[in-house]
């Protein structure tokens, strides 16, 4: 099933704006890039707040065509108002900035979907800054390292999505590493039908997952608060240089190694400024392979069901990560 998104209009979003701010937007513009929710900037001619951003969680806005996820699965579809509000509350308590919630409507009063109106953070993303302003990069990375230190100092009593754990619930699975292994094997099983290289290497990739998992020792104690998909595109930079996290619905308590593998992949050579001591190298190796497999299966799955605006970009992500996963197997074979 291919999902085609109908872009919401000023008329669609005016009732929400009137209820939240008692104001009518002069323009409404879709912000491109999101794949799980619609994101729209509302502009106003009058009043103290010139712009705001609407989040719309509806099937028509979700390119994954995944339907509601089971929040007890930490890796289930991270989309929805409940996950967003729980994450926003937890980040606020932790002292980590995110767009301030202005109004939430879970009743579908103004649109046939869960919606929220949030603060619009002017300025670009951290990715924009790192690519376009090298002179400002060191200070921004220092701030990012400080943000990570604040985030990762926070812990929860169990692993799982914040919306579950902070409400006293528990997640499926016995450990973070067990969940990662199950997800990696599931992602791997999707690939042979999509690429002959993955089909040929399926036994070796399966064995590599098993070997890496066997080296991971149990970890007692609390789980770390992590964003879950923290690339520089998910960090906004305000005009005063402050940083704020966006796309926070996947916030969860989990192993910090899961976060750092993704940070390393997405920040590239800038990751050196974000490294931290005390990470488990065996977990990093397992989670790195699992992340590569996820970043093959996920983009290809998205292209099957969605109308993502840049399919070649997604195919490039899948190709790069398949090569990385295969290189891990090749290096393992060479060492033996």
Strands of the sheet with 38-43, listed across from one edge: 27-30, 38-43, 51-57, 114-119, 101-105
161 forms beta bridges with: 252
Dihedral (C-alpha) 199, 204, 209, 212: value to the nearest 10 degrees? -160
- pLDDT recorded at residue 330: 83
Which of 77-91, 208-222, 232-246, 305-319 comes out lowest in average pLDDT?
305-319
CA angle centred on 310, ends 269 and 186, rounded to 5° = 75
Residue 336 has pLDDT above 60, yes or no: no
Residue 164 backbone zone (phi > 0: left; psi -120 to 50: alpha; other: beta): alpha
pLDDT digits (tens, 9 = 90+) for 293-303: 999 999 999 88
Least confident of 96-105, 302-311, 313-322: 302-311
Contact 152, 279 (CB under 8 A): no
> Of 132-136, 172-176, 239-243, which gets the smallest average pLDDT?
239-243
Query: Model's pTM, two decimal places?
Result: 0.94
Beta bridge mates, 105: 115
| Mean of per-residue pLDDT scores for the chain | 93
Continuous segment of H or E residues that includes residue 304: helix 281-305
Q: What angle do CA 219, 222, 227 make, to 5 degrees?
A: 100
Angle at 15 between CA 13 and CA 19, to 5 degrees: 120
Pair 116, 21: CB distance under 8 Å: no
Mean pLDDT of 171-193: 97
Q: Which residue segments constitute the domains of the chain, with CATH numbers given? A: 10-119 (3.30.200), 126-335 (3.90.1200.10)
- CA–CA distance from 150 to each of 131, 206, 207, 263 (Å)? 25, 36, 37, 16
Of 15-29, 147-161, 293-307, the one with minimum mean pLDDT is 293-307
User: 50-82 in b/e burial notation, b at 16+ Cβ within 10 A?
Assistant: eebbbbbbbeebbbbeeeebebebbbbbbbbbb
| Residue 164 binned pLDDT confidence (cut-offs 50, 70, 90) | very high
User: 33-47, 56-70, 165-179 — which is least confidently predicted?
Assistant: 56-70
Higher local confidence (pLDDT), 12 or 309: 12
Instruction: Identify the burial level of 163 via C-beta atoms within 10 angstroms of its C-beta, where 0-12 means exposed, 13-18 middle and 19 or more buried.
Output: buried
Mean pLDDT score, 207-233: 96
> Looking at residues 281-300, what average pLDDT do you find?
97
């Amino acid at each position: 099933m291919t999902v085609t998104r109908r872009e919401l209009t000023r008329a669609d979003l005016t009732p929400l704006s009137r209820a939240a701010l008692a104001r009518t937007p002069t323009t409404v513009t879709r912000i491109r890039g999101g794949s799980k929710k619609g994101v729209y900037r509302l502009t106003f001619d009058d009043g103290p707040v010139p712009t705001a951003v609407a989040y719309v969680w509806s099937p028509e806005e979700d390119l994954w065509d995944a339907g509601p996820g089971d929040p007890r699965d930490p890796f289930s579809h991270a989309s929805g108002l409940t996950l967003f509000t729980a994450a926003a509350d937890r980040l606020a308590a932790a002292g980590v900035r995110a767009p301030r919630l202005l109004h939430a409507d879970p009743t579908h009063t103004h649109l046939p979907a869960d919606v929220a109106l949030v603060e619009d953070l002017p300025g670009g993303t951290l990715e924009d800054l790192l690519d376009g302003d090298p002179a400002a990069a060191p200070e921004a990375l220092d701030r990012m390292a400080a943000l990570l230190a604040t985030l990762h100092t926070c812990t929860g009593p169990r692993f799982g999505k914040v919306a579950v754990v902070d409400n006293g619930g528990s997640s499926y699975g016995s450990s973070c590493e067990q969940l990662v292994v199950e997800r990696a094997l599931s992602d791997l099983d999707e690939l042979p039908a999509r690429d002959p290289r993955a089909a040929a290497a399926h036994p070796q990739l399966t064995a590599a997952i098993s070997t890496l998992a066997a080296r991971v020792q149990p970890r007692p104690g609390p789980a770390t608060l992590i964003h879950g998909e923290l690339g520089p595109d998910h960090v906004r930079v305000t005009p005063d240089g402050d940083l704020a996290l966006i796309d926070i619905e996947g916030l969860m308590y989990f192993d910090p190694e899961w976060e750092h593998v993704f940070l390393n992949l997405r920040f590239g050579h800038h990751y050196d400024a974000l490294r931290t001591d005390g990470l488990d190298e065996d977990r990093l190796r397992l989670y790195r392979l699992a992340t590569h497999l996820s970043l093959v299966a996920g983009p290809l799955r998205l292209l099957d069901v969605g109308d993502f605006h840049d399919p070649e970009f997604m195919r490039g992500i899948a190709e790069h990560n398949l090569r990385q996963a295969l290189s891990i197997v090749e290096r393992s074979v060479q060492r033996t």
